[in-house]
Amino acid sequence: MNNNQSFSTGVIFYKGENYIGDKFLYVESNEEYRLSEELNDKFSSVRVGRL
Residue 5 is predicted with a pLDDT of 62
pTM: 0.69
Q: Give pLDDT tens digits along the chain (51 positions).
A: 555 566 778 889 999 999 999 998 888 888 887 778 887 788 999 998 876
Query: In degrees to the nearest 10, what's the CA dihedral of 7, 8, 14, 17?
Result: 70
Q: 42 CB contacts (<8 Å, ≥6 apart)?
A: 13, 15
Determine the Cα–Cα distance for residues 29 and 32; give it in Å rounded to an integer: 7
Cβ distance 12 to 24 under 8 Å?
A: yes
What's the sign of the alpha-carbon dihedral 37, 40, 42, 43? Answer: positive
